[in-house]
């Protein structure tokens, strides 16, 4: 019986894949499987994965015929997974030796739907600890209760799928799949769905996931049109939250988070290609006008002056005429 399925998408990460794969090898166990999803890589990644599939116990290689993005690659792994529990890793990150057995032990002991963990962010030689914004640790909690308050960082602001482990019953309930085709912010609708619809979760103090930042090929570093998928991701969060039985309580959090992400992208707009920068402004302005305006007013009033001013100015931006280019 497979106890744990580890889903690892890869796309053009030849420089980092060997470290990732070595870390999987150091976590291998007879009842673990490693689903290596090659998302139609065009560099040396496929050859590296071919060799790894022969070397790592429990490795299964899955290939896409065309590139679908991280969300779609994760879904491919979920569909193929046989484990009682599932977890994720990205193809340019790595795990500490023995992390996965400890992670599995924690969720088995707690008996909840999912467990969230801390992680280490790595950029060049710098290492930064990032903790799940949940207290207390090692205690089973209600996921819905961890969405609020709106003005503070909460569990839905820590969306990393690889920072945790998930019971198969979440797959059976349709809660673990990602929105196909999202190229960025794919974790955002996913984490909100988990917290609105799962029944139990916990946070634990395990520290064994190493998240590599500043990778040149990462979408977070590329200012092309794919970055604008964050708008589609948060539109999904807004629409699903508006239909929730506690919409009145939860919408202020969704609106404030959406505003913060728009402000973040506007604050680094110089990294976008000029046509994409113009589209970012236009689409963000439309998104602001779609939000419940009374909730938006409250969100802007609660933000710092610089971000609030930037968003209010964008909100007043004239809508493009029908048929006009953004």
The pair phi, psi for residue 115, each rounded to 5°, is -125, 140
Per-residue model confidence (pLDDT) at position 222: 52
Going by pLDDT thresholds of 50, 70 and 90, the confidence category of residue 173 is very high
Mean local confidence (pLDDT), 296-320: 92
Q: What is the pTM of this model?
A: 0.93
Is residue 326 scored above 90 in pLDDT? no
Give pLDDT tens digits for 78-110: 999 999 999 999 999 999 999 999 999 999 999
- Residue 323's CB is within 10 A of a number of other CB atoms, namely 5
Going by pLDDT thresholds of 50, 70 and 90, the confidence category of residue 313 is very high
CB 60 within 8 Å of CB 53: yes
The pair phi, psi for residue 212, each rounded to 5°, is -90, 120
Q: Of residues 53 and 221, which shows the higher confidence score? A: 53
Mean local confidence (pLDDT), 314-321: 78
């Amino acid at each position: 019986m497979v106890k744990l399925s580890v889903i690892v998408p890869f796309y053009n990460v030849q420089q980092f894949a060997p470290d990732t794969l070595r870390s999987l090898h150091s976590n291998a166990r007879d009842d673990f499987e490693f689903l290596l999803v090659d998302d139609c890589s065009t560099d040396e990644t496929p050859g590296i994965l071919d060799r790894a599939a022969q070397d790592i116990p429990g490795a299964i290689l899955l290939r896409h015929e065309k590139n679908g993005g991280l969300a779609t690659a994760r879904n491919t792994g979920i569909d193929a997974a046989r484990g009682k529990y599932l977890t994720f890793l990205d193809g340019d990150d790595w795990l500490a030796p023995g992390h996965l057995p400890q992670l599995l032990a924690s969720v088995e002991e707690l008996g909840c739907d999912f467990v969230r963990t801390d992680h280490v962010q790595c950029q060049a030689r710098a290492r930064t600890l990032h903790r799940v914004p949940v207290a207390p640790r090692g205690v089973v909690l209600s996921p819905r209760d961890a969405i609020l308050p709106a003005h503070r960082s909460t569990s839905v602001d820590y969306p990393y799928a690889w920072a945790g482990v998930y019971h198969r019953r979440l797959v059976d309930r349709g809660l673990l799949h990602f929105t196909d085709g999202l190229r960025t912010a794919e974790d955002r609708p996913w984490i909100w769905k988990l917290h609105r619809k799962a029944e139990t979760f916990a946070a634990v103090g395990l520290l064994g996931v190493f998240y590599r930042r500043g990778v040149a090929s990462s979408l977070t570093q590329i200012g092309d049109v794919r970055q604008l998928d964050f708008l589609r991701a948060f539109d999904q969060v807004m629409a699903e939250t508006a239909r929730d039985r506690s919409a009145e309580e939860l919408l202020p959090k969704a609106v404030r988070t959406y505003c913060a992400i728009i402000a973040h992208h506007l604050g680094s707009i110089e990294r976008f290609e000029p046509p994409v920068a113009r589209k970012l402004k236009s689409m963000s302005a439309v998104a602001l006008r779609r939000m419940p305006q009374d909730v938006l007013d409250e969100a802007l009033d609660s933000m710092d002056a610089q971000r609030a001013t930037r968003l209010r100015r964008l909100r007043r931006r004239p809508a493009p005429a029908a048929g006009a280019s953004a």
